[in-house]
Structure 1
Amino acid sequence: MSLRILCAGDSFITADDLADQCRQQLAEFGPLELITHVSRWPDEPMGDVDGVREAAGDPAEIAVLAADVDVIVTHLAPITAAVFESAGKLRVVGSTRGGPVNIDIAAATEAGVPVAFLPGRNLSAAAEFAVGLMIAVTRNIGAGSRGLADGRWEGKYYRYALTGPEIGHCAVGLIGYGAIGAHVTRLLLAFGAKVLVYDPYTDASKIDSAGARSVALDELLATADIVSLHARLTPETTGMADATFFAAMKPGSFFINNARGELVRTDDLTAALTSGHLAGAGLDVFDPEPPPADHPLLAMPRVVATPHLAGASQHVAHHSAETVVGQVALFLRTGTIAHCANPSALPVASV
């Protein structure tokens, strides 16, 4: 019997790459019948549909394609309750995402279908991007590029008051020491930066042994030349970067966020930049996304703003496809999954 697989990709993690990985890693399970689907993301935005979030594609179309498949591997396709109802033979779903919000996990569990996902899939890319934002905003890369694009050769950025610090001579404060925060620390230490970390959920000795220094939030804000957010979004951290937070930051310091837009009170950040209390900001995430085109934050010369690009690298795309198909192979071989969104759907014994 053949193994029927739906490979649902887009212009980032492609259906062809998913299919190629299936050919390489799943051939041992018999003849493969590969069905491909390509959404129009990122040229068309993702959205919320039929109980799932951040999805790209028509769930009705996916449900038709999923009929009689054994495996679904996907990036953004909406794997809704209707899809699970249609896919009566479905054994496993592989999601290339760090959080499979485009998959109805409750429906998957009810159908007895485990969902593999990839936490930390883009941690290296996101960490590099954070450091890139630090350099871009402190050294006028964004402002200088915009000036040239508008036909201006702006030597003014050699004025002492407009120059910025070198990373290697900065104290950089990181809020959050998860996988990305830890990798940012390693990169910054290679520059020679002094790294301060606030994370009440991580043992201070772990931070200190990595070459950084664990500090209280008030010390970090008052001391750091650059403050970068790497906290998880929770009810506790939502809006944590507010007017009080920015007022406590060192005058003339810089703010970086490529974690979650909801961590920041955008109007409070705008006010802190407008007043001159903060020297600049590097932002890859917003609340809402996209931000209004006429938002004053986007027009500020010392703000580098990008459209949620931190995870967009060729390595992330290819490695995600390779890894998620590897997880499907592991499940078909042993009945286990390294990272399963619904462990109760896993078989009790290996298959």
Structure 2
Amino acid sequence: MKILFMIRDPFVDAYPKLIRDAKGLADEVKVLYTDNGIKKEDLLQEVKDVDIIVVAIVKIDQEVIDAAPRLKYIIKFGAGYDNIDVHYADQKGIPVTNAPGLNAESVADHAFGLLLSASRSIPQKDKEIKTNQWELSVGHEIYGKQLGILGFGSIGKAIAKRAYGFNMTTLASGNYKDYGTADKWNVTFVEKEELFAASDFIIVSTSLTKHNRRMVNKALLNRMKPAAFLINISRGGLIHEQDLIEALKQKRIKGAALDVFEMEPPQNELAMLPNVIATSHVGGSTYESIQRIGNLTIQNISQFLRNEPLEFVVTPNLNK
């Protein structure tokens, strides 16, 4: 049994017990460092003799799956599995599991960090100080403001809980509606068009699917208030980046704070705009969340090897 880990490079250093535990379960464990990218031809070679793939952001498509004739199980090290061809894996009888909700608190923390940073220009002021500039600037309070959350899953609900502490009025939009949690944190469900028009801060926290790619486009951006901020801690593909660039350059909205981009690292000017705060897809990267996901990973590998039911199977036909 050979396990190939392709998780974010700092994750291995943050939780070395993960690899040690995996080595106790398999004949061979290999860690492939991929944060600086990996060529497709190299990836195809690396997977040809593996039985289990543990992956964070590397794309596992049909070609990769076909290049791994021994592949029996794919584990997503995180929640969003849009980088894995789940339906093709399902057709091949290969289960795919993920770790929903285990990084929700970390991502929600980061979302509010971006929100506060945008509202008070904290990164910009830090940069000025470090270049010997001392200038007054006027920011915005978030206390009592209107927050819009696009997507009300585990992360969206964790964000709503934090917003309640800031006495924010919260709107939410999405297919999943947890009315009990919404009532608890004073959240009102609306259509996304109303959410974009009414909110002072909008946080994108919905999963990326083939149906909602680039859903945040010019039509929605044009509904935003001129003083509003857009924050994305989910997937870059949810935003039409060129439309956002135009809105920011033309100052149709106040600014954006982005942890994710359609291409990572970003290949366009979006992250370089002065009214954009950018981080490098680190929303879920905390010691605590890595440990939780790592423990689930080892648990699922153990259960797979014992032919026991797996936790959080996302392959449709195998999740029955």
Q: TM-score, normalised by structure 1?
A: 0.76
The one of 287, 311, 315 equivalent to 1:314 is 287
Aligned to 1:300: 273
Aligned to 1:324: 297
> Matched residues in 2 for 1:176 and 1:107: separation?
26
Q: Displacement, 1:327?
A: 1.8
SS at match of 1:80: helix
> Matched residues in 2 for 1:326 and 1:202: separation?
30
Aligned to 1:60: 45
> Matched residues in 1 for 2:129 and 2:183: separation?
43
The one of 3, 7, 10 equivalent to 1:6 is 3
The one of 107, 132, 137 equivalent to 1:152 is 132
SS at match of 1:278: coil
Aligned to 1:258: 233
Unaligned runs of 5+ in 2: none
Q: Could you say if the C-alpha distance between residues 59 and 13 of structure 1 is closer, same or farther in structure 2, counting changes exceeding 3 Å?
A: farther
Aligned to 1:267: 242
> Matched residues in 1 for 2:120 and 2:18: separation?
40
Q: Could you say if the C-alpha distance between residues 186 and 119 of structure 1 is closer, same or farther in structure 2, counting changes exceeding 3 Å?
A: same
Aligned to 1:276: 251
Larger Rg: 1
Q: Could you say if the C-alpha distance between residues 75 and 193 of structure 1 is closer, same or farther in structure 2, counting changes exceeding 3 Å?
A: same
> Matched residues in 2 for 1:103 and 1:221: separation?
30
> Matched residues in 2 for 1:246 and 1:101: separation?
24
Q: Displacement, 1:232?
A: 2.7
> Matched residues in 2 for 1:120 and 1:129: separation?
15
The one of 134, 138, 144 equivalent to 2:119 is 138
> Matched residues in 2 for 1:108 and 1:301: separation?
42
Q: What number of residue pairs does the alignment pair up?
A: 312
- CA deviation vs aligned residue, 1:101-156 (integer Å, no higher than 9, x gap): 6666567556655343323342222211111110111111121122234x132323
Q: Could you say if the C-alpha distance between residues 7 and 19 of structure 1 is closer, same or farther in structure 2, counting changes exceeding 3 Å?
A: farther
> Matched residues in 1 for 2:173 and 2:83: separation?
32
Question: Comparing 220-229 with 175-184, which one deviates more in the overlay?
Answer: 220-229
> Matched residues in 1 for 2:248 and 2:182: separation?
30
Residue pairs, 1:1-351, within 5 angstroms: 4-6=1-3, 8-10=5-7, 11-14=9-12, 16-22=16-22, 32-42=25-35, 44-46=36-38, 49=40, 58-64=43-49, 66=50, 72=52, 74-76=54-56, 80-83=65-68, 85-86=69-70, 92-100=73-81, 112-149=93-130, 151-157=131-137, 163-202=138-177, 207-292=182-267, 295=269, 297-333=270-306, 335-342=308-315, 344=317
> Which letter does structure 2 place at the counterpart of 1:8?
F
Superposition RMSD in Å: 3.2
Identity of aligned residues (%): 25
Question: Comparing 169-178 with 100-109, which one deviates more in the overlay?
Answer: 100-109
Contact residue 157 and residue 181 of structure 2 kept, 8 A: no
Contact residue 81 and residue 107 of structure 1 kept, 8 A: no
SS at match of 2:34: coil
Q: Displacement, 1:37?
A: 1.3
> Which letter does structure 1 place at the counterpart of 2:125?
G
Q: TM-score, normalised by structure 2?
A: 0.82
> Matched residues in 2 for 1:206 and 1:316: separation?
22
Contact residue 152 and residue 172 of structure 2 kept, 8 A: yes
Unaligned runs of 5+ in 1: 27-31, 51-56, 158-162
Q: Displacement, 1:226?
A: 0.8
> Matched residues in 1 for 2:83 and 2:314: separation?
12
Contact residue 81 and residue 108 of structure 1 kept, 8 A: no
Q: Could you say if the C-alpha distance between residues 5 and 19 of structure 1 is closer, same or farther in structure 2, counting changes exceeding 3 Å?
A: farther
> Matched residues in 2 for 1:235 and 1:345: separation?
21
